[in-house]
Chain A
Amino acid sequence: MSAARSSMLLAVIASAFAATLAVAQPARPRPPPASPREAAPIDLTGQWVAIVNEDWRWRMVTPPKGDYASVPLNDEGRRVADQWDTSQDGRCEAYGAAALLRMPTRLRIRWDGAERLVLETDAGRQVRNFDFGAPAAAAARTLQGQSAARWVTPPRNTGGPGLAGAGGGPASTGGYLEVKTANLTPGWLRRNGVPYSEDATVTEYFARFAAPNGDEWLMVTTIVDDPRYLTQRFIVSNHFRKEAEGGRWNPRACRAAS
């Protein structure tokens, strides 16, 4: 077979596949873009409980004053942390956006309309709003700040051949939620007053997965950037197990600064 004939054969085969795809996908009017709620690659809604099996003694109880092990504080951060005393235990600064999900808490996540995810905690009775779309106008600083959200959906692979789904069923498409939070009031990375400043920004990644026993898990990777008190990014991850709706929910308020 000549090179010309082989090229022709390849072209014919390719055309046949293209024609097949064209038949399978007739031209239609392009639908309007999906709302963030409709476009969600994963469902984060429902009630989740923190499973605290990491940093237990810094999260489940208030650690001693000056115990800021493993937090990359600079000298100024340590100076501020050393000003904390036990009379401040339980204050709302411990429930700010940078550390709220470190608390032993349950979460309730729900949609408010098509472009806002709402996350509530029973610990400290806090509410965070994750807004998709255009950022809201600058408002006063708050403990939870302003959060801009977007879905990150992995592109389909076009160049790196591999074995999709090898070892177990069809592969899921994955995806996660990215949330960037700023406009914060100062708060604490730990309940014993380890500080973050109003200059801090928080980037979070929310992913969901199933365990082999069927449990559903939410994992949140949190990156705190604070040029005032940290020498490098502070990076932790928290995991939450899905619970039945209407399960245990124990709202308990934090103490506002006097």
Chain B
Amino acid sequence: MSRRSAPGAVFGVLFLLHCAAAPAQTNLIGYWNPLFHEDVDERIPGPSIGDYLGLPISDAARLRAEAWDASLLSMPEHQCKPHPSTYGFRGVGVLRIWEDRDEDTQQLVKIHTHIAWQEQHREIWMDGRPHPPEYAQHTWQGFSTGSWEGDVLVVKTTHLKAGWMRRNGLPLSDRATMTDRFHRYGDVMTHVSIVEDPVYLTEPLVKTNGFLLAPAGTMTPYPCEPVVEVVRDPGLVPHYLPGKNPFLSEFGERYGLPREATRGGAATALPEFAETLR
């Protein structure tokens, strides 16, 4: 043993003691299939225009959404956009989770999540590093750091690009942040997202949805090449001017829901709102 080995032995003992005191960490590694037993209308075919039921949106969010035209998605610039991490876990596509560990120390450095649709790849740093300064680049998946609360993985995400909270034009700003949580119960995982946005939300938006472990899961690539689907005049961006969107009332009329419900807002999520509908 060299002269440097004695401190090494001390470190080794301290390391073992540290491990014994660390909280449990659930193994999230593997393939997970999203469950669509909730919000299926929104998540599979896509939400209706003007459906903001139960969402704590601001007036600014509603104004932006009412100007949104689905034809926007046919523009080459928009065809290959991945979901932002604030929405991706509610979208379609298999989820794969794996981890990076330091080869020498076996310390957990990073957890990766990858969702098949548009290849949404997220890195969750587990090594205690701080978030970068505000001027750092904002991306679809943002910058994420994780920690364990017991056996629950808790992730904080900042540095998001401006995105969406629902695929019918409801926006999120680049000031949005997210805390998400991964709760595992056997082969079921419940994902919780808590999104805060001082621009487009009046209170945090909390969503929960499920995944089912897929022991024989697979994932295929999702290459995307934009093409010209619709020939448009240069500079034309599909939109509706305020008050000109003809589709806003269709959803409510189809299901017999009043406009004050479909317009959303925090109050529409509370039990007492249901009483006003009787």
Interface residues, chain A, with chain B CB atoms under 8 Å away: 1-3, 5-6, 9-10, 13-14, 17, 41, 49-57, 60-61, 63-64, 69-72, 103-106, 122-123, 153-168, 171-176, 178, 205, 207, 209, 211-213, 215, 217, 219, 221, 223, 234-239, 241, 248, 250
Contact = CB atoms under 8 A, between A and B. Distances in A.
Contacts of A41: 150
Interface stretch (B75-83, B227-235, B267-275): B267-275
Contacts of A219: 183, 190, 192, 208
Interface string B135-165: 0000000000111111110001000000000
Contacts of B40: 69-70
Contacts of B30: none
Given A10-B12, A156-B24, 20 more contacts: A1-B5, A3-B1, A49-B270, A60-B273, A60-B274, A61-B256, A70-B40, A104-B273, A123-B271, A161-B106, A162-B108, A163-B127, A166-B126, A168-B147, A171-B149, A209-B192, A211-B206, A219-B192, A235-B37, A236-B37
B208 A171 contact: no
Interface of B: 1-3, 5-6, 9-10, 12-13, 15, 17-26, 35-41, 53-56, 105-108, 125-128, 145-152, 156, 177, 179, 181, 183, 185, 188, 190, 192, 194, 196, 203-210, 212, 255-257, 261, 268-275, 277
Nearest to B19: A161
30 contacts: A1-B1, A1-B5, A6-B1, A50-B271, A53-B54, A54-B207, A56-B268, A57-B53, A61-B257, A61-B277, A64-B255, A154-B23, A154-B151, A156-B22, A157-B25, A161-B106, A161-B108, A163-B127, A165-B23, A166-B145, A166-B146, A166-B147, A168-B147, A207-B152, A212-B196, A215-B204, A219-B183, A219-B190, A237-B190, A248-B272
A67 to B, nearest CB: 9
Contacts of A61: 255-257, 274, 277
Contacts of A106: 271
Nearest to A69: B40
B6 A162 contact: no
A158 B21 CA distance: 8
Contacts of A6: 1, 5-6, 9
Nearest to B55: A53
Contact of B19 (A50, A155, A157): A157
B17 to A, nearest CB: 7
Main SS at interface, chain B: mixed
Given A167-B147, A219-B192, A10 B185 contact: no
